[in-house]
Structure 1
Amino acid sequence: MTDFVMRTLDVGRAQADHLRRTYWAEHGTTLAGLMANHDIDADAYLDEVHDIRFDVLEPDPYLADLLAQLPGRRIVYTNGSAPYAAQVLKARGLEAAFDAIYGVEHAGYVPKPQSAAFERVFAMDGLDPTQAAMFEDDPRNLAAPHAMGLRTVHVAPEPEAADHIHHHTDDLNDFLGRLV
């Protein structure tokens, strides 16, 4: 991301890194900040920053089995692109566990944590928020789903105390194992 910002905006590494972090904090994603402030091509950005190696990821058949046992539809919604998420799922052996993948492009490049992004993706999927749960590593991305009626699970090493987080886990396999 920093390299893309450096080259596209013709700035040094320190400035590019500062902009990357600032845009993430202020806009939800670096991409949203670049689009708002510099009118960059979202698809060019996503293609470049997601052009990475996936062979470092290992399959997790136990997680795949746990996910498959969950009731209802299982979807992925990411601030990355759907093709990127599909590659991650494939590398982890999890692609069969999900019914749909939605990327930031499905939300019109409006990122989480903005309510409009969730509303658009959930409507597209036909998701009933009162019958769903959202698992997320960024606690700010759980506020809007919580307000919409979803159960929220923060998945991260350190818990975040917030009214919009119902559950926290630092071990997704263990958490799901207790559910199923």
Structure 2
Amino acid sequence: MSKELTTTPNIDTQTVYLFDLDNTLYPPEKNLFAHVDVRMTSFIEEKLKLTHDEAFHIQKKYWKEYGTTLSGLMQIHGLEPDEFLDFVHDIDVSPLTPDPELSNALANLPGKKYIFTNGTQKHAERVSDRLGVLHHFDDIFDIRAADYVPKPDRNVYHKLIANYDIKPEETIFFEDMARNLLPAHELGMTTVWLKPKLSENAPEHSKIGHEGADGDHIHYVIDNLVDFLSLMNGK
């Protein structure tokens, strides 16, 4: 499935790096997404006049079937997306702390760097700023830039490529959701899966991160982003 980590992708000033945000730029142990999760359920409960359990079921069902809960709400209920996005991403990011090792690793990468997220630009800015790495990124391609269509829809990847005039064969994509790497591979990108840890108490997001992990579309499997970036840099 993956190449040995004694080898890394070749990089130079033409290389483009795409980074997922949540549970990729910071470890899932921070459990930040759990706060978004709670607010999603609360929003659905109020908006659709459901019980808490019914809202939670709908939230997870749409996430699994449509790529994001929002996508399901838009397609099934005709929800206007901005109210939902602003509400669910209004979370406390203080559990995150500056990550100087990540900052150094990103600084040493030659070439352009982008955040590629199913979340909002504001959320990505708040998270990456809290980590102390926002200044390393050339731009953020968020769910609004994708016309509210989430990864892993192939059209979103085409839109991103066209938006930044990216050459897929010179692009490396880092992501914790294995299924989101398939379109990237098919388009010619190098893919790196930050494999979520599984345990009896692992969050559901980590379990879903393993869906679609079988196949040749995952080129590298890693468990620590900073270590891999440092290895790529030869540091």
Asked whether the two chains share a fold, i.e. TM above 0.5, the reply is yes
Q: Give me the whole-angstrom Cα distance separating, in 2, the residues matched to 1:81 and 1:123.
A: 20
- Which residue of 2 is the match for residue 58 of structure 1? 97
- Which residue of 2 is the match for residue 16 of structure 1? 55
Counterpart of 1:75 (choices 80, 97, 114) is 114
**What CA deviation, in whole Å up to 9, does each residue of 1:138-163 have, x standing for no partner?**
00100001100000001123474432
Q: Secondary structure at the match of 1:67?
A: helix
From the two aligned structures, give the one with the greater helix fraction.
1
Q: Give me the whole-angstrom Cα distance separating, in 1, the residues matched to 2:83 and 2:163.
A: 24
Q: How does 1:78-89 map to 2 (within 5 A)?
A: 78-89=117-128
Q: Give me the whole-angstrom Cα distance separating, in 1, the residues matched to 2:224 and 2:65.
A: 29
Query: Contact 1:35/1:42 (CA < 8 Å) preserved in 2?
Result: yes
Q: How does 1:102-113 map to 2 (within 5 A)?
A: 102-113=141-152
Counterpart of 1:45 (choices 80, 84, 105) is 84
**Residues paired across the two proteins, number:** 180
Q: Give me the whole-angstrom Cα distance separating, in 1, the residues matched to 2:177 and 2:61.
A: 16
Query: Contact 2:67/2:151 (CA < 8 Å) preserved in 1?
Result: yes
- Say if 2:210 is the partner of 1:164: no
- Which residue of 1 is the match for residue 13 of structure 2? none
Q: Give me the whole-angstrom Cα distance separating, in 2, the residues matched to 1:162 and 1:34.
A: 31
Q: Secondary structure at the match of 1:74?
A: strand
How many angstroms does 1:106 deviate by?
A: 0.3
Q: Give me the whole-angstrom Cα distance separating, in 1, the residues matched to 2:196 and 2:90.
A: 27
Identity among equivalent positions (%) equals: 39
Q: Give me the whole-angstrom Cα distance separating, in 1, the residues matched to 2:195 and 2:121.
A: 22
**What CA deviation, in whole Å up to 9, does each residue of 1:90-140 have, x standing for no partner?**
000011111111101001101000001111122111111110010001001
Letter of the 2:100 partner, please give it. Answer: P
Aligned-residue CA RMSD in angstroms?
Answer: 1.1
Q: Secondary structure at the match of 2:112?
A: coil
- Which residue of 2 is the match for residue 3 of structure 1? 42
Letter of the 2:178 partner, please give it. Answer: P
- Say if 2:167 is the partner of 1:128: yes
Q: Give me the whole-angstrom Cα distance separating, in 1, the residues matched to 2:161 and 2:42.
A: 33
TM-score norm. by structure 2 comes to 0.74
Query: Contact 1:157/1:169 (CA < 8 Å) preserved in 2?
Result: no
Query: Contact 1:113/1:140 (CA < 8 Å) preserved in 2?
Result: yes
- Say if 2:227 is the partner of 1:177: no
TM-score norm. by structure 1 comes to 0.97
Unaligned runs of 5+ in 1: none
Query: Contact 2:176/2:196 (CA < 8 Å) preserved in 1?
Result: no
Q: Give me the whole-angstrom Cα distance separating, in 1, the residues matched to 2:105 and 2:171.
A: 17
Query: Contact 2:141/2:160 (CA < 8 Å) preserved in 1?
Result: yes
